[in-house]
Copies of this chain bind each other. A is one copy, B any other.
Amino acid sequence: MGQACRFWEVSRLVAVLELTNISKHFGAIQAVNDVSLSLLAGQVVGLMGDNGAGKSTLVKMIAGNFRPSEGTIRLDGSEIVMHRPVEARQHGIEIVHQDLALCNNLTAAANVFLGRELRRGIGPLKVLDYKTMYRRAGEIFRELKSETRPRDLVRQMSGGQRQAVAIARTMLSEAKIVLMDEPTAAISVRQVAEVLNLIRQLRDRGIAVVLISHRMPDVFTVADRVIVLRRGRKVADKPIEASSPEEVTGLITGAIEQV
Protein backbone atom coordinates (compact mmCIF):
# COMPACT_ATOMS: atom_id res chain seq x y z
CA MET A 1 0.00 0.00 0.00
CA GLY A 2 2.79 2.31 0.84
CA GLN A 3 4.38 1.52 -2.47
CA ALA A 4 1.20 2.24 -4.34
CA CYS A 5 1.03 5.58 -2.62
CA ARG A 6 4.50 6.41 -3.67
CA PHE A 7 3.63 6.01 -7.31
CA TRP A 8 0.42 7.86 -6.95
CA GLU A 9 2.41 10.81 -5.74
CA VAL A 10 5.03 10.59 -8.46
CA SER A 11 2.31 10.40 -10.99
CA ARG A 12 0.87 13.72 -10.19
CA LEU A 13 4.08 15.19 -11.40
CA VAL A 14 4.30 13.48 -14.81
CA ALA A 15 1.21 12.90 -16.96
CA VAL A 16 2.66 11.05 -19.92
CA LEU A 17 -0.55 10.75 -21.83
CA GLU A 18 -3.81 12.59 -21.59
CA LEU A 19 -7.03 11.66 -23.33
CA THR A 20 -9.69 14.35 -23.44
CA ASN A 21 -13.32 13.56 -24.31
CA ILE A 22 -12.40 10.66 -26.55
CA SER A 23 -15.24 8.94 -28.40
CA LYS A 24 -15.29 6.26 -31.07
CA HIS A 25 -18.20 4.91 -32.99
CA PHE A 26 -18.40 2.18 -35.59
CA GLY A 27 -21.39 3.02 -37.70
CA ALA A 28 -24.23 3.09 -35.22
CA ILE A 29 -22.28 1.42 -32.44
CA GLN A 30 -20.88 3.82 -29.86
CA ALA A 31 -17.92 1.79 -28.62
CA VAL A 32 -16.23 4.51 -26.54
CA ASN A 33 -18.13 7.52 -25.30
CA ASP A 34 -16.58 10.72 -24.04
CA VAL A 35 -13.75 9.23 -22.03
CA SER A 36 -11.05 11.38 -20.46
CA LEU A 37 -8.13 9.99 -18.55
CA SER A 38 -4.44 10.46 -18.00
CA LEU A 39 -1.62 7.97 -17.72
CA LEU A 40 1.19 8.75 -15.36
CA ALA A 41 4.78 7.62 -15.63
CA GLY A 42 5.56 4.65 -13.43
CA GLN A 43 1.97 3.85 -12.74
CA VAL A 44 0.01 0.70 -13.56
CA VAL A 45 -3.60 1.34 -14.46
CA GLY A 46 -6.00 -1.58 -14.38
CA LEU A 47 -8.69 -1.11 -17.04
CA MET A 48 -11.75 -3.22 -16.37
CA GLY A 49 -15.22 -3.61 -17.78
CA ASP A 50 -17.72 -6.03 -19.15
CA ASN A 51 -17.26 -7.75 -22.51
CA GLY A 52 -17.86 -5.15 -25.17
CA ALA A 53 -17.45 -2.26 -22.76
CA GLY A 54 -14.94 -0.64 -25.11
CA LYS A 55 -11.64 -1.45 -23.42
CA SER A 56 -9.91 -2.80 -26.51
CA THR A 57 -11.24 0.04 -28.62
CA LEU A 58 -9.89 2.57 -26.16
CA VAL A 59 -6.37 1.18 -26.07
CA LYS A 60 -6.35 0.69 -29.83
CA MET A 61 -6.92 4.39 -30.22
CA ILE A 62 -3.95 5.06 -27.99
CA ALA A 63 -1.87 2.62 -30.03
CA GLY A 64 -2.76 4.28 -33.34
CA ASN A 65 -4.87 1.41 -34.69
CA PHE A 66 -8.02 3.50 -34.74
CA ARG A 67 -8.43 7.24 -34.92
CA PRO A 68 -10.84 8.67 -32.35
CA SER A 69 -14.12 9.96 -33.77
CA GLU A 70 -13.87 12.83 -31.34
CA GLY A 71 -11.52 14.11 -28.66
CA THR A 72 -7.80 14.71 -28.42
CA ILE A 73 -4.78 12.74 -27.33
CA ARG A 74 -1.92 14.61 -25.69
CA LEU A 75 1.51 13.08 -25.25
CA ASP A 76 3.86 14.84 -22.83
CA GLY A 77 1.59 17.84 -23.05
CA SER A 78 1.45 18.26 -26.81
CA GLU A 79 -1.40 17.05 -28.97
CA ILE A 80 -0.69 14.15 -31.32
CA VAL A 81 -2.64 12.70 -34.19
CA MET A 82 -1.61 9.22 -35.25
CA HIS A 83 -2.49 7.69 -38.55
CA ARG A 84 -0.65 4.44 -38.26
CA PRO A 85 0.55 2.09 -35.53
CA VAL A 86 4.14 2.88 -36.46
CA GLU A 87 3.65 6.47 -35.39
CA ALA A 88 2.44 5.41 -31.98
CA ARG A 89 5.54 3.27 -31.61
CA GLN A 90 7.69 6.19 -32.60
CA HIS A 91 6.08 8.05 -29.75
CA GLY A 92 7.04 5.24 -27.42
CA ILE A 93 3.64 3.55 -27.15
CA GLU A 94 3.65 -0.25 -27.24
CA ILE A 95 0.67 -2.60 -27.22
CA VAL A 96 -0.02 -6.27 -26.67
CA HIS A 97 -3.18 -7.02 -28.62
CA GLN A 98 -5.97 -9.12 -27.22
CA ASP A 99 -5.82 -11.56 -30.11
CA LEU A 100 -2.02 -11.36 -29.97
CA ALA A 101 -1.73 -10.36 -33.65
CA LEU A 102 0.66 -13.15 -34.58
CA CYS A 103 1.48 -14.55 -38.01
CA ASN A 104 1.42 -18.31 -37.69
CA ASN A 105 3.63 -18.86 -40.68
CA LEU A 106 6.54 -16.84 -39.29
CA THR A 107 9.08 -17.66 -36.63
CA ALA A 108 8.84 -16.29 -33.12
CA ALA A 109 11.68 -13.86 -33.79
CA ALA A 110 10.07 -12.67 -37.02
CA ASN A 111 6.88 -12.00 -35.13
CA VAL A 112 8.64 -10.12 -32.39
CA PHE A 113 10.32 -7.85 -34.92
CA LEU A 114 7.35 -7.59 -37.27
CA GLY A 115 7.07 -4.05 -38.54
CA ARG A 116 10.52 -3.03 -37.32
CA GLU A 117 12.90 -5.60 -38.67
CA LEU A 118 16.57 -5.10 -38.01
CA ARG A 119 18.64 -4.77 -41.14
CA ARG A 120 22.27 -4.57 -41.97
CA GLY A 121 24.21 -3.64 -45.03
CA ILE A 122 25.59 -0.58 -46.63
CA GLY A 123 23.78 2.25 -48.30
CA PRO A 124 20.43 1.48 -49.84
CA LEU A 125 21.05 -2.27 -50.06
CA LYS A 126 19.95 -3.56 -46.71
CA VAL A 127 19.17 -7.13 -45.85
CA LEU A 128 17.42 -8.59 -42.84
CA ASP A 129 19.77 -9.20 -39.97
CA TYR A 130 18.57 -12.65 -38.95
CA LYS A 131 21.40 -13.28 -36.54
CA THR A 132 20.89 -10.21 -34.44
CA MET A 133 17.13 -10.62 -34.45
CA TYR A 134 17.40 -14.20 -33.22
CA ARG A 135 19.85 -13.12 -30.55
CA ARG A 136 17.78 -10.20 -29.33
CA ALA A 137 14.58 -12.23 -29.34
CA GLY A 138 16.34 -14.95 -27.38
CA GLU A 139 17.49 -12.41 -24.83
CA ILE A 140 13.99 -11.08 -24.39
CA PHE A 141 12.50 -14.56 -23.94
CA ARG A 142 15.18 -15.28 -21.38
CA GLU A 143 14.26 -12.11 -19.56
CA LEU A 144 10.61 -13.23 -19.65
CA LYS A 145 11.68 -16.67 -18.39
CA SER A 146 9.71 -18.22 -21.25
CA GLU A 147 10.79 -21.43 -22.95
CA THR A 148 10.24 -19.99 -26.40
CA ARG A 149 12.57 -20.78 -29.28
CA PRO A 150 13.09 -17.76 -31.53
CA ARG A 151 13.67 -19.93 -34.59
CA ASP A 152 10.43 -21.93 -34.32
CA LEU A 153 7.22 -21.20 -36.13
CA VAL A 154 4.53 -19.62 -34.03
CA ARG A 155 2.00 -22.05 -35.53
CA GLN A 156 3.31 -24.85 -33.35
CA MET A 157 3.43 -22.90 -30.12
CA SER A 158 1.34 -23.23 -26.99
CA GLY A 159 -0.85 -20.46 -25.68
CA GLY A 160 1.76 -19.35 -23.18
CA GLN A 161 4.51 -19.21 -25.75
CA ARG A 162 2.35 -17.19 -28.09
CA GLN A 163 1.64 -14.78 -25.30
CA ALA A 164 5.35 -14.47 -24.63
CA VAL A 165 5.98 -13.61 -28.26
CA ALA A 166 3.35 -10.87 -28.19
CA ILE A 167 4.72 -9.44 -24.95
CA ALA A 168 8.28 -9.60 -26.21
CA ARG A 169 7.35 -7.05 -28.85
CA THR A 170 6.81 -4.38 -26.27
CA MET A 171 10.34 -4.85 -24.95
CA LEU A 172 12.17 -4.13 -28.18
CA SER A 173 12.52 -0.46 -27.53
CA GLU A 174 12.39 1.71 -24.46
CA ALA A 175 8.69 2.48 -24.37
CA LYS A 176 7.03 5.23 -22.38
CA ILE A 177 3.66 3.55 -22.33
CA VAL A 178 2.82 -0.15 -22.54
CA LEU A 179 -0.77 -1.20 -23.17
CA MET A 180 -1.65 -4.82 -22.37
CA ASP A 181 -4.99 -6.11 -23.58
CA GLU A 182 -5.75 -9.25 -21.55
CA PRO A 183 -2.20 -10.56 -21.54
CA THR A 184 -3.06 -13.21 -18.97
CA ALA A 185 -6.28 -14.60 -20.41
CA ALA A 186 -5.14 -18.00 -21.64
CA ILE A 187 -1.90 -18.63 -19.83
CA SER A 188 -1.09 -20.78 -16.88
CA VAL A 189 -0.43 -19.66 -13.34
CA ARG A 190 3.28 -19.87 -13.88
CA GLN A 191 3.32 -17.44 -16.77
CA VAL A 192 0.75 -15.20 -15.12
CA ALA A 193 3.21 -14.64 -12.32
CA GLU A 194 5.91 -13.84 -14.88
CA VAL A 195 3.70 -11.35 -16.67
CA LEU A 196 2.74 -9.61 -13.47
CA ASN A 197 6.39 -9.49 -12.53
CA LEU A 198 7.20 -8.02 -15.87
CA ILE A 199 4.58 -5.34 -15.38
CA ARG A 200 6.18 -4.43 -12.07
CA GLN A 201 9.56 -4.22 -13.76
CA LEU A 202 8.16 -1.89 -16.40
CA ARG A 203 6.61 0.27 -13.74
CA ASP A 204 9.84 0.46 -11.83
CA ARG A 205 11.55 1.74 -14.94
CA GLY A 206 9.07 4.60 -14.94
CA ILE A 207 6.91 3.29 -17.72
CA ALA A 208 3.16 3.83 -17.69
CA VAL A 209 1.30 0.53 -18.02
CA VAL A 210 -2.35 -0.10 -18.84
CA LEU A 211 -3.47 -3.59 -17.93
CA ILE A 212 -6.79 -4.80 -19.27
CA SER A 213 -7.93 -7.92 -17.50
CA HIS A 214 -11.01 -9.72 -16.37
CA ARG A 215 -9.03 -11.30 -13.55
CA MET A 216 -9.72 -9.33 -10.44
CA PRO A 217 -6.75 -10.75 -8.47
CA ASP A 218 -4.28 -9.74 -11.18
CA VAL A 219 -5.50 -6.19 -11.23
CA PHE A 220 -5.56 -5.89 -7.48
CA THR A 221 -2.07 -7.43 -7.19
CA VAL A 222 -0.31 -5.19 -9.61
CA ALA A 223 -2.30 -2.07 -10.43
CA ASP A 224 -1.93 1.29 -8.75
CA ARG A 225 -5.15 2.65 -10.10
CA VAL A 226 -8.28 1.14 -11.56
CA ILE A 227 -10.49 2.50 -14.30
CA VAL A 228 -13.84 0.91 -15.07
CA LEU A 229 -15.70 1.28 -18.35
CA ARG A 230 -19.35 0.50 -18.78
CA ARG A 231 -20.99 0.66 -22.19
CA GLY A 232 -18.24 2.92 -23.48
CA ARG A 233 -18.33 5.38 -20.58
CA LYS A 234 -15.85 5.75 -17.77
CA VAL A 235 -17.67 5.01 -14.51
CA ALA A 236 -14.74 4.91 -12.11
CA ASP A 237 -11.13 6.06 -11.92
CA LYS A 238 -9.59 5.75 -8.49
CA PRO A 239 -6.50 4.53 -6.65
CA ILE A 240 -6.60 0.80 -6.09
CA GLU A 241 -6.33 1.15 -2.33
CA ALA A 242 -9.47 3.26 -2.33
CA SER A 243 -11.43 0.53 -4.03
CA SER A 244 -12.22 -3.15 -3.54
CA PRO A 245 -12.95 -6.14 -5.77
CA GLU A 246 -16.57 -5.99 -4.67
CA GLU A 247 -16.92 -2.36 -5.67
CA VAL A 248 -15.28 -2.93 -9.03
CA THR A 249 -17.51 -5.92 -9.69
CA GLY A 250 -20.51 -3.75 -8.88
CA LEU A 251 -19.26 -1.07 -11.24
CA ILE A 252 -18.68 -3.54 -14.04
CA THR A 253 -22.09 -5.16 -13.78
CA GLY A 254 -23.90 -1.88 -13.25
CA ALA A 255 -25.02 -2.67 -9.72
CA ILE A 256 -23.13 0.48 -8.72
CA GLU A 257 -23.84 3.33 -11.09
CA GLN A 258 -20.78 5.56 -10.88
CA VAL A 259 -18.16 6.64 -8.35
Contact = CB atoms under 8 A, between A and B. Distances in A.
A187 B185 CA distance: 9
Contacts of A49: 188
A186 B215 CA distance: 9
A13 interface: no
Contacts of A159: 51-52
Contacts of A249: 189-190
Given A160-B52, A215-B215, A185 B188 contact: no
B190 A186 contact: no
Contacts of A188: 48-51, 53, 214, 252
A182 interface: yes
Given A215-B215, A217-B217, A252 B189 contact: yes
A253 interface: yes
Contacts of A52: 158-161
Contacts of A50: 160, 188, 190
A36 interface: no
B189 A216 contact: yes
A112 B109 CA distance: 39
Given A182-B186, A252-B190, A160 B51 contact: yes
Contacts of A53: 188
A211 to B, nearest CB: 15
A29 to B, nearest CB: 9
Given A185-B186, A249-B189, A51 B214 contact: no
Given A52-B158, A189-B214, A189-B249, 9 more contacts: A50-B190, A51-B160, A51-B186, A52-B160, A53-B188, A182-B186, A189-B252, A190-B252, A190-B253
Interface of A: 48-53, 158-161, 182, 185-192, 214-217, 248-249, 252-253
